[in-house]
Structure 1
């Protein structure tokens, strides 16, 4: 199979899967159920949706601000505006090509702020490790609040979050070992890769050299608090979910966090996964599915709006480069 065909498949298979899941979800419901779902979405309290939008925006601004703590130890001080726009175009890119955003984010900073790609990308890997640790903490809290029910649901869906963590940290460990081997090797084919390996390692180690570690930690906690609150306030949009216990909402957040990476931007999968676990906990089907769609649509709109504007204004505001 050619490389070009492989790339095309990586882009379109997740997208087609998401479209199929939307079609399947709507197709298996009756016209009355679809009408009820649509009415629930239309009648949702728009003010709480706006609050969710604002909270999501604050999380992205904080992520852009936090990035400076990893870049400063290497001597780079890019503008906050460029860091924010790099973050948003990265999220937007993931809707087209899953996992391409991290690369584009590093490329953007390299283009407009002269931060070497390999160093910028290394800091992004370190960020992901920190974020995954917080997600593990949230999963732990969710398990404490809804232990038996959440474990039953995960077992029914053949989902084991520990596999994700082991795979991620295993890959990070393998990457570090390989980069060190390349950096120290005298083998001719590795010579061209030495600078790349050195830069990636420097970027990843920047998290250990930060002067303001507590500021980085506080921003990380703030980012994930905004993520959770952005999701949580959606329950107040619908009368059927307004009294849903916090533990159930946290369980739905955890499931949604894993579902969002299954397809391009979680299209199809995210609303179904979130709605499915709420139904599992006894929420009415039309309200549970409406919750999933409203939550996904709000998060998606934040990315589409700021990501689209960032694509436009990055070259405009950096016209000298």
Structure 2
């Protein structure tokens, strides 16, 4: 147990170190005076509007989750689902990837819904979100292909080239692994641990199938699309509150949204460093100064983080009293 805890601590320290390293790379060649001047130019009311749009995305996520859970026969109030989603964002600020587990645990305690089914719906949400992100990337590629390709090259976010030999070796290894599993299944299928894992996977699969039972599939996909509209909308408003970026349009907003999403994919707490590095790099590729790009990334990330802290804390309180009932 101590070894496991030590491993988690070391992993957390490593990812946090990566975040700080990316922060250093982002800020090391930035003129602090010019950076501060760009930050001071921000329209505070406009920033509140941008953060409000971000919170709307959290609300939509909660309502979409309610729809999925109802398809499985579980009736959760929108307030508790939204609170759980907000709480998950707060947790992700501290420990990446743990927020989704936290929101499932929260609803398990308030509504006694099995964890495996909750987790299945969350996995389904992630699959759908990935499809929506793919759509955003496609739109960006159509409208901003040269900028996107240059950004991927300069940021190191492009995929490495894999030759045919890699896929052949990987295929052979997977085949051999499958053969071993098949030949020994009479043994490992009787393990108590295996039965628990298979039972949990069965619950996840049931959660994934919830999309087949959703009453209004069009509404579900509308929610899913609206979430990303909010993300892009936050960037659009952000352009208009930072002096010097107001000439950017919706095409550039999709492009910067791709960079922002990739920043949150990197397993660092709350996208710290990764968001700053990738978003500022995206704006530099568009021809803006490092100071302006870094100021934009810092403003949006800091504002969102503060919003996650406030809404997550409120959600935690709501869930606490719901559990008491």
Q: Same fold (TM over 0.5)?
A: yes
RMSD (CA atoms): 2.3
Candidates 281, 284, 290, aligned match of 1:279: 284
2:164 counterpart residue number: none
Q: Structure 1 residue 216 and structure 2 residue 220: aligned?
A: yes
CA contact (8 A) 2:263 2:274 kept: yes
Q: What does 1:63-82 correspond to in 2, within 5 Å?
A: 63-82=61-80
Deviation at 1:161, TM superposition (A): 6.6
Q: Structure 1 residue 249 and structure 2 residue 249: aligned?
A: no
Candidates 175, 179, 199, aligned match of 2:203: 199
Give me the whole-angstrom Cα distance separating, in 2, the residues matched to 1:156 and 1:39.
Answer: 27
Give me the whole-angstrom Cα distance separating, in 2, the residues matched to 1:91 and 1:271.
Answer: 18
Candidates 126, 130, 133, aligned match of 2:131: 133
Q: What does 1:1-321 correspond to in 2, within 5 Å?
A: 2-29=3-30, 33-160=31-158, 186-189=189-192, 190-262=194-266, 263-320=268-325
Give me the whole-angstrom Cα distance separating, in 2, the residues matched to 1:40 and 1:272.
Answer: 17
Secondary structure of 1:65's aligned partner: helix
1:170 counterpart residue number: none
Give me the whole-angstrom Cα distance separating, in 1, the residues matched to 2:212 and 2:96.
Answer: 29
2:168 counterpart residue number: none
Larger CA Rg, structure 1 vs 2: 2
Secondary structure of 1:50's aligned partner: helix
Give me the whole-angstrom Cα distance separating, in 1, the residues matched to 2:153 and 2:28.
Answer: 26
Give me the whole-angstrom Cα distance separating, in 2, the residues matched to 1:283 and 1:28.
Answer: 14
Give me the whole-angstrom Cα distance separating, in 2, the residues matched to 1:91 and 1:62.
Answer: 14
CA contact (8 A) 1:270 1:296 kept: yes
1:167 counterpart residue number: none
Deviation at 1:319, TM superposition (A): 1.7
Normalised by the length of structure 2, the TM-score is: 0.86
Contiguous gaps of at least 5 residues in structure 1 = 164-173
Secondary structure of 1:146's aligned partner: helix
CA contact (8 A) 2:85 2:103 kept: yes
| 1:190-216 per-position Cα deviation (integer Å, ceiling 9, x unaligned) | 233343222111111111221211110
Deviation at 1:238, TM superposition (A): 1.9
CA contact (8 A) 1:52 1:229 kept: yes
CA contact (8 A) 1:154 1:160 kept: yes
Give the number of aligned pairs. 300
Contiguous gaps of at least 5 residues in structure 2 = 162-173
Q: Which has the higher contact order (CA 8 A, sep 6+)?
A: 2
Give me the whole-angstrom Cα distance separating, in 2, the residues matched to 1:317 and 1:141.
Answer: 42
